[in-house]
Amino acid sequence: MSAPRMAALPRFLVNGLPGDRVSVTDRGLAYGDGLFETIRVEQGRAGLLEQHLRRLALGASALALPVDLAQLRNELEAAAAELQRGLLKLTITRGPAGRGYAIPAQVEPTRILQLSSLPDYPSANAAEGVRLFPCATRLGHQPLLAGIKHLNRLEQVLARSEWQDPSYAEGLLLDIHDRPIECTMSNLFLRLDERWVTPSLTLCGVRGVMRDYLMDRLAAEGEPVIERPVSSDELLMSAEVFCCNSVYGVWPVVELAGHRWSIGVHTRQAQRLAEQVIS
């Protein structure tokens, strides 16, 4: 007898049960009141799970959102074992409530887990590098929300809508003072004066789990990463540039608005480190 086939993707679980509906009064829908994580799965294992749960806990603390991390870990591990290879997107909202911004006295968070296939990114992005689109959309400053992956991604939506040319794999996002912060779905690393530098995320931006992982691993390899504000001039003066996230790993950056970079040995080192947890 053949093994049973897994249900077609994408699949959804809502509060642990099969389904794809939430209440129209859910605060995630009304106000973006919640958090999400997108987790790559390989060989039945949720990659960088500890880092994802750590960021989720930081976001929950910032939003005063009650989450059961042990329950989430169990659900993610079970879903990863079922999926084997693909993506898990976990969304946590504050749940249904009445009108008004005030947090209700009784909160019943909504858990939404989506199981889907991996995105079909061109292999050339990693092998040959990517071009960045110079986005006009600027990231506003809000220290209370900086770093966490909350549900309001309107800045990223507007930035990503600025180009349709498939020759651009990513877009560069600056803040309101025209300082490079990140890309639309990834973080940024620059090679300056023989050191890795990554933009500070204390005022805006998302603290990516691949960013945290690479900062730890590069430091262990004798390449500590400096986290500080970066200017646009420094970006253009850098010897190597790459962007990274927990789904695709590391993409070398080779062009931005006519400025070109070569793919250096230090970027390839970071790429190899990333591949250890995404393959």
How many percent of the chain have pLDDT more than 90?
Answer: 96
Query: In this structure, are 112 and 148 located in the same domain?
Result: no
Query: In this structure, are 62 and 142 located in the same domain?
Result: no
Catalytic one of 91, 93, 149, 267: 149
3-state secondary structure 6-39: CCCCCEEEECCEECCCCCCCEHHHHHCCEEEEEE
Query: In this structure, are 191 and 103 located in the same domain?
Result: no
Identify whether 198 is a catalytic site residue: no
* DSSP secondary structure string for all residues of 146-209: TBS-BS--HHHHHHHTT---TTEEEEEEEETTS-EEEESSSEEEEEETTEEEEE--SSSSB--H
Domain that holds residue 241: 124-278
Q: 2 lies in a domain?
A: no
Identify whether 267 is a catalytic site residue: no
Count of structural domains, the chain = 2
CATH number at residue 143: 3.20.10.10
Catalytic one of 182, 198, 223, 267: 182
Mean pLDDT of the chain, nearest integer:
96
For 268-275, what is the mean pLDDT?
Answer: 98
Interval 106-161: pLDDT, tens: 999 999 999 999 999 999 999 999 999 999 999 999 999 999 999 999 999 999 99
Query: Does residue 3 register a pLDDT over 90?
Result: no
Query: In this structure, are 95 and 215 located in the same domain?
Result: no
Identify whether 234 is a catalytic site residue: no
**Given this model, what pLDDT does residue 187 score?**
98
Query: Does residue 62 register a pLDDT over 70?
Result: yes
Q: How confident is the model at residue 8 (pLDDT cuts 50, 70, 90)?
A: confident
Interval 81-111: pLDDT, tens: 999 999 999 999 999 999 999 999 999 999 9
Would you say 28 and 94 are in contact if contact means Cβ atoms under 8 Å apart?
yes
Q: How confident is the model at residue 1 (pLDDT cuts 50, 70, 90)?
A: very low
Query: In this structure, are 111 and 133 located in the same domain?
Result: no
Query: Does residue 6 register a pLDDT over 90?
Result: no
Q: 5 lies in a domain?
A: no
Copy the structure tokens of residue 73.
């870990």
Catalytic one of 38, 93, 184, 267: 38
Interval 14-31: pLDDT, tens: 999 999 999 999 999 999
- Separation of alpha carbons 138 and 136, rounded Å: 6
Crossing angle of the two packed helices 49-63 and 69-83, in degrees rounded to 10 = 140
Query: In this structure, are 132 and 262 located in the same domain?
Result: yes
Query: Does residue 55 register a pLDDT over 90?
Result: yes
Interval 185-244: pLDDT, tens: 999 999 999 999 999 999 999 999 999 999 999 999 999 999 999 999 999 999 999 999
**Given this model, what pLDDT does residue 274 score?**
98
Query: In this structure, are 198 and 241 located in the same domain?
Result: yes
